[in-house]
Amino acid sequence: MGQDLVLQLESIVKVFPGVRALDGVRLDVIPGEIHALCGENGAGKSTLMKIISGAQSYTSGKMLVEGEEVVFHSTKDAEQKGIAMIYQEFNLVSDLTVAENIYLGRWPKSNFGKVDWDKMYKDAQEDLEKLGLKFSSRTKVKNLSVAECQMVEIAKCLTIGAKVIIMDEPTAALTDEEIRVLFEIIEDLKEQGIAILYISHRMDEIFEISDRLTVFRDGKYIATKNIEDTNYDDVVSMMVGQSITDLYPEREYKQKDIALQVKNLTSRTVNNLSFDLHQGEILGIAGLLGSGNIELAKVLSGALPMKEGEVYINGNLTDCSTPIKASRGGIGFVTDDRKQEGLVLVRDVKENVSLSSLRSLSKGIRLDKKLEMERVNKQVDQLNIKISNVQQEVKNLSGGNQQKVVFAKVLETNPDILILAEPTRGVDVGAKAEIYSIMNELTNEGKSIIIITSDLPELIGMSDRIITMKDGEIVMTAMKVDTDEEEILAYASGGVE
């Protein structure tokens, strides 16, 4: 059978000190197929992809490429066998041109041993045109959009003669139109006989473009299925080991006193905005890219300046001009970019959780380390953060557990108002269910939540009331029972005045 497969893994085991990350995993990949990899954060997908791409060794097992057993010692070894990986955080040098990035480490040389710049730019331009791309190979990467960077990464894979391309969350930062273009390119790659290993938490995408999928759980192989032979509920139950029938908790919200009042708020992209948030309420704010909803969150949390307007918390005028002032006023903010803005990845869980509450953990100028440990352990238990210990570096946690550490850090400040921007981006369905449950419990305790998300089922599933924004203004306000995805999109896109 191995001769018919472009890639085959048998009984792969990977052991880290104290952790068995992969336990007898197997995977078969057919040339020219789109093969989705499914599993919760921490299921072993990322470790397996690093092994396949040569970034990491394995403890035992066997890997074959086109029937030949291989052992990779570097990503270069993997590339020479036709395996390339496009990471969620691109491996591009922003100050170099597109052509320089595509051929990085392989710049063509003239007969005199110098870089043949003309040939490199010409070849790179042809590579871009094969993908139907219009920008110049002489453009610096820092001047490209996220989607264009994605295409440069794909072009780079094609120039090394890739037979298997691994894509890790390729649509995480793309618009709907950019996703459509990416899917067209993936279909073209498939027709050329190139296999795509596709990792995504967006189940609708997996069912739209995949031919087969393989499910992992807790470092173990669970099953491989043809896409037409399975469904969403089946895959989710395989991923989490149980059926999740009620992803969104039942809410019994009754309108209470106003907790947050925003009057005539104006910033760079938000124009004269006024709205109320009630105690124990989850208020959803919808809007397309550029609508101003993410900027609104950052203004209220003090991360961006407010030009005009007033913010009242529990009836008191509150200064939100800096993150520290907003936090002391009772606002907690979970950013939409946990890796850049929410966490210090090279520090441990304990330091990240206590980072925003050092004042309350200190006696004079001394940090009460015993109290810090007690409080951090309490948050870890309450949020069910899966870690080996609180000294574990945050960069080594799964995406879902990283997100829970951000929640823990914010909750340690004991805010009255929680502003959540894309709170479940890049986390699996099991972690989503846990985060939704946490949100529900917080409102039952009397806290109020603003959720800003591009995931409309999530917005409707969790909100009590929904505001839709367009061009920095509110264009619709409705109770969730009185609206649906189509109406929200119509207002958000300008289809309804």
User: Is residue 121 a part of any domain in this protein?
Assistant: yes
| pLDDT at 1 > cutoff 60 | no
The mean pLDDT value of the chain amounts to 89
Whether residues 263 and 232 share a domain: the answer is: no
pLDDT of 242 reads 64
Q: Is 273 exposed, middle or buried (0-12, 13-18, 19+ CB in 10 A)?
A: buried
Question: Does 266 share its domain with 340?
Answer: yes
Provide Rg for the chain, Cα atoms.
24
Over residues 364-377, the mean pLDDT reads 89
**C-alpha triplet 7, 11, 12: angle, nearest 5°:** 75
Taking residues 23-42, report their average pLDDT: 91
pLDDT above 90: residue 122: yes
3-state secondary structure 8-40: EEEEEEEEECCEEEEEEEEEEECCCCEEEEECC
The pLDDT of residue 298 is: 93
Q: What is the pLDDT of residue 339?
A: 84
Quote the number of domains for the chain.
2
pLDDT the model gives residue 14 = 93
The answer on 447 and 301 residing in a single domain is yes
Cα 58 to Cα 176: distance, rounded to the nearest angstrom: 37
The last residue of a domain, from among 173, 208, 240: 240
- Give the pLDDT of residue 2: 43
Dihedral (Cα; 4, 70, 21, 16), 10-degree rounding? 180
Average pLDDT over residues 22-43: 90
Q: Which amino acid is at 311?
A: V
Buried-exposed string 101-131: b where 16+ CB fall within 10 A, e elsewhere: bbbeeeeeeeeeeeeeeeebbebbbebbeeb
Instruction: Give the mean model confidence (pLDDT) for residues 307-316.
Output: 94
Please write the tens of the pLDDT for every residue from 416-437: 999 999 888 777 777 788 889 8
Beta-strand pair 282-286/258-266? unpaired
**Which residue in 496, 494, 466 sits closest to 481, CA to CA?**
466
| pLDDT tens-digit series, residues 384-411 | 888 888 989 998 887 778 888 998 999 9
pLDDT score, position 87: 82
SS (H, E, C) the chain: CHHHCCEEEEEEEEEECCEEEEEEEEEEECCCCEEEEECCCCCCHHHHHHHHCCCCCCCEEEEEECCEECCCCCHHHHHHCCEEEECCCCCCCCCCEHHHHHCCCCCCECCCCCECHHHHHHHHHHHHHHCCCCCCCCCEHHHCCHHHHHHHHHHHHHHCCCCEEEEECCCCCCCHHHHHHHHHHHHHHHHCCCEEEEECCCHHHHHHHCCEEEEEECCEEEEEEEHHHCCHHHHHHHHHCCCCCCCCCCCCCCCCCEEEEEEEEECCCCCCEEEEEECCCEEEEECCCCCCHHHHHHHHCCCCCCCEEEEEECCEECCCCCHHHHHHHCEEEECCCHHHHHCCCCCEHHHHHHHHHCCCCEECCEECHHHHHHHHHHHHHHCCCCCCCCCCEHHHCCHHHHHHHHHHHHHCCCCCEEEEECCCCCCCHHHHHHHHHHHHHHHHCCCEEEEECCCHHHHHHHCCEEEEEECCEEEEEEEHHHCCHHHHHHHHCCCCC
Question: For the chain, what percent of residues have pLDDT higher than 70?
Answer: 97
pLDDT band at residue 201, thresholds of 50, 70 and 90?
confident
Q: What is the distance between the alpha carbons of residues 259 and 154, in angstroms, rounded to a whole number?
A: 48
Give 115's pLDDT tier (boundaries 50, 70, 90). Answer: confident
Closest to 379 in 3D by CA, of 421, 409, 344: 409
Same domain, yes or no: 295 and 399: yes
Same domain for 229 and 289, yes or no, is no
The Cα–Cα gap between 34 and 205 comes to 12
Report the pLDDT value the prediction gives residue 243, as an integer from 0 to 100.
62
Question: Residue 304, CB half-sphere, CA atoms under 13 Å: how many?
Answer: 19
Task: Let me know: does 352 contact 342? Beta carbons within 8 Å.
Answer: no
Whether 470 is covered by a domain: the verdict is yes
- Predicted local confidence at residue 18, as pLDDT: 67
Burial classification of residue 96, based on how many CB atoms lie within 10 Å of its CB (0-12 exposed, 13-18 middle, 19 or more buried)? middle
Quick one: tokens of 278? 């009630």
Q: Which domain holds residue 400?
A: 258-492
Of the candidates 181, 205, 240, which is a domain's last residue?
Answer: 240
Do the domain assignments include residue 253? Answer: no
Sheet holding 273-278, edge to edge: 273-278, 258-266, 308-313, 316-317
pLDDT at 420: 94
User: Is the domain of 32 the same as that of 167?
Assistant: yes
Q: Looking at the domain assignment, is residue 249 inside a domain?
A: no
Residue 251 located in a structural domain: no
- For the segment 448-462, the average pLDDT, to the nearest whole number, is 91
Q: Looking at the predicted structure, is the pLDDT value of residue 275 above 90?
A: yes
Of 285-289, 441-445, 485-489, the range with the highest mean pLDDT is 441-445
Q: Is residue 209 part of a domain?
A: yes
More confident residue, 65 or 289: 65
Do 263 and 207 reside in the same domain of the chain?
no
Q: Which residue, among 49, 457, 443, has the nearest Cα to 254 in the 3D structure?
A: 443
Each residue's pLDDT tens digit, 235-249: 888 887 766 666 788
Predicted local distance difference test score (pLDDT) of residue 389: 87
CATH code assigned at 298: 3.40.50.300
pTM of the model: 0.64
Burial class (CB in 10 A: 0-12, 13-18, 19+), 312: middle
Claim to verify: residue 230 and residue 154 sit in the same structural domain? yes
Domain boundary among 213, 240, 267: 240
Tell me, yes or no, whether 245 lies in a domain: no
CA separation for the pair 465, 467 (Å, rounded)? 7
Does residue 262 sit in the same domain as residue 232?
Answer: no
Residue 53 confidence (pLDDT): 94
Q: Domain check: are 266 and 225 in the same one?
A: no
Residues 59 and 187 in one domain: yes
pLDDT for 497:
64
Q: What is the mean pLDDT of residues 50-79?
A: 93
Look at residue 227 and tell me if it is in a domain. yes
Q: Hey, what are 198's tokens?
A: 């596709």
In terms of domains, do 226 and 341 share one? no
- Give Cα separations from 250 to 237, 247, 320, 433 (angstroms): 20, 10, 33, 12
